Amino acid sequence: MTQPDTHVVILGGGFAGLAAARGLAGSGVRITLVDRENHHLFQPLLYQVATAGLSAPDIAYPIRSIFQNRPDVTVFLGEATSVDLAQRRVSGPQGSLTYDYLVLATGGVTSYFGHPEWEPFAPGLKTIGDAQRIRRHVLSAFERAEITPDTSERKKLMTLVVVGGGPTGVELAGALAELTRHVLVNDFRHIDPELARIVLLDRAERLLTMYPPDLSENARATLEAMGVEVRLKTGVVNVQQGRVDTGTEVIEAENILWAAGVGASPLTATLGVELDRAGRVKVGPDLSVPGHPEVFAIGDLAAVTDVDGQLVPGIAPAAMQMGSHVARIIREDLDSSKSEKKPRSAFDYLDKGSMATIGRSAAVFKAGPVKLTGFLAWTAWLFVHLLFLVGFRNKAVVLVQWAWNYVTYGRGARLIVRPGQE
């Protein structure tokens, strides 16, 4: 089954794009994988980099290295800015590429619900750059609080607001509580980091709305026991430099972190096809773009309903399963082009469970009827996350670092590196 002239272009080397490229190994097609970053990023652990628990290289790996033994894969560092479906061409500032098959896997972006002007004051967490910026800003605020003689300024510097009570917001708030209550606790002479105020806001009635209510309640109680103020049914009406307005209160906070919304990669808007409200491509059952069987949209930029009619969540395992599915379809297409055409199979999502960590030895986990909380859930979380660190050779490093942090409450990645000096 060799089709040396078939060119598959994959845009995005995230979970979905990598799974597609891996699934096409040995198929004989020529693959070009384009990503605007030179690394694959394990986003589920970004909050650890933002809160000084891990360093950037612990959770990112050069895409070029991942494919160093795959001569069929060419990796380009570049940004795709438009797709011309009629001409079968992808373009960007670095040039353009034509394709026989196109796999769109450029993921999502942080969404500010129609208020992009809030972004400079409330950074989101999506890239290594975001995580490093947050870490620098959080640690610098404590340094400035140690120096300032002004009590109200000190209070503001030591207030951190996390907007959004989904898994990322819960993980961030928990990790910030640990950072201030345990890691920084003995480091300062004029301030007591334990008195830092950490507020988690969400307009919903409970945290982690995608989990059963008892797990949401467990997460809320655990965070409150760690010293986090959890404010539910509290939306945000305005964000300015160092100020969050909830409509009933203005919170003065040097650090405001946005974990509230996700939208699709802006690339989808150039396709001229139907999108959902978040800008995701409404794909067919086989994950192809309607009217274009040679183009697939997968991962966070696709709105997918699987064979059971269930909406597929925007999480890493779903993105990987979609990548594998598309690879299988392309293989079957190439096989059947020699014989009789077979109908394409529909994507069938296998829910292996989901989990969110809250802090040191606390997490929530659900898989079908199985629900776990506390240390058991945290152990499951740790195991799964290490397992999925895409064959990174630094898996062992991450494990040792975690174990060390766990025992000592240490935070080796606590350096403040000024912008431009990284």
Ligand X SMILES: Cc1cc2nc3c(=O)[nH]c(=O)nc-3n(C[C@H](O)[C@H](O)[C@H](O)COP(=O)(O)OP(=O)(O)OC[C@H]3O[C@@H](n4cnc5c(N)ncnc54)[C@H](O)[C@@H]3O)c2cc1C
Q: Tell me the closest approach of the beta carbon of residue 230 to ligand X, in angstroms.
A: 19
Among 73, 102, 105, 312, binds ligand X (CB under 6 A): 105
Nearer to ligand X, 34 or 364 (CB): 34
Asked if residue 168 binds ligand X (CB under 6 A), the reply is: yes
Q: How far apart are CA 361 and CA 375, in angstroms?
A: 5
Among 167, 174, 193, 263, binds ligand X (CB under 6 A): 167
Asked if residue 267 binds ligand X (CB under 6 A), the reply is: yes
Nearer to ligand X, 247 or 272 (CB): 272
Which span sits near ligand X by CB under 6 A: 66-74, 99-107, 185-193, 337-345?
99-107
Among 97, 162, 183, 319, binds ligand X (CB under 6 A): 319
Asked if residue 261 binds ligand X (CB under 6 A), the reply is: no
Asked if residue 166 binds ligand X (CB under 6 A), the reply is: no
Q: How far apart are CA 398 and CA 186, in angstroms?
A: 25
**Which residue of this chain has its Cβ atom nearest to ligand X in the complex?**
14
Residue 253's CB: how many other CB atoms inside 10 A? 25
Cβ atoms 373, 388 nearer than 8 A: no
Region of 409 (left: φ > 0; alpha: ψ -120 to 50; beta: rest) is left
Q: Tell me the closest approach of the beta carbon of residue 338 to ligand X, in angstroms.
A: 31
Which span sits near ligand X by CB under 6 A: 31-39, 221-229, 268-276, 367-375?
31-39
Q: How far apart are CA 168 and CA 174, in angstroms?
A: 10
Q: Tell me the closest approach of the beta carbon of residue 321 to ligand X, in angstroms.
A: 11
Task: Select from 317, 300, 345, 391 the least CA-distant residue to 11.
Answer: 300
Site for ligand X in 124-163 (CB under 6 A): 125-126
Q: How far apart are CA 363 and CA 47, in angstroms?
A: 15
Q: Tell me the closest approach of the beta carbon of residue 134 to ligand X, in angstroms.
A: 11
Task: Select from 282, 310, 312, 307 the least CA-distant residue to 297.
Answer: 282
Asked if residue 13 binds ligand X (CB under 6 A), the reply is: yes
Residue 280 structure tokens? 């995701």
Nearer to ligand X, 145 or 173 (CB): 173
Nearer to ligand X, 28 or 284 (CB): 284
Asked if residue 254 binds ligand X (CB under 6 A), the reply is: no
Site for ligand X in 272-301 (CB under 6 A): 299-300
Question: Is 37 marked active-site?
Answer: no
Q: How far apart are CA 143 and CA 338, in angstroms?
A: 67
C-alpha dihedral (113, 290, 347, 67), degrees to nearest 10: -80
Nearer to ligand X, 22 or 156 (CB): 22
Task: Select from 187, 163, 161 the least CA-distant residue to 176.
Answer: 161
Q: Tell me the closest approach of the beta carbon of residue 94 to ligand X, in angstroms.
A: 10
Q: How far apart are CA 72 and CA 66, in angstroms?
A: 13
Residue at token pair 């207030």: 159
| Interface pattern 60-79 for ligand X (x via CB under 6 A) | -------------------x
Site for ligand X in 348-407 (CB under 6 A): none
Q: Tell me the closest approach of the beta carbon of residue 148 to ligand X, in angstroms.
A: 31
Task: Select from 368, 392, 395, 394 the least CA-distant residue to 382.
Answer: 395
Residue 65: what are its φ and ψ, rounded to 5°? -70, -35
Angle at 19 between CA 17 and CA 25, to 5 degrees: 110
Q: What is the DSSP letter of 347?
A: P
Task: Select from 359, 322, 365, 329 the least CA-distant residue to 344.
Answer: 329
Among 16, 33, 160, 283, binds ligand X (CB under 6 A): 16
Q: Tell me the closest approach of the beta carbon of residue 155 to ligand X, in angstroms.
A: 28
Active site residues: 171
- Residues engaged in binding ligand X (CB under 6 A): 11-17, 34-37, 43-44, 46-47, 79-80, 105-107, 125-126, 167-168, 265, 267, 299-300, 314-317, 319
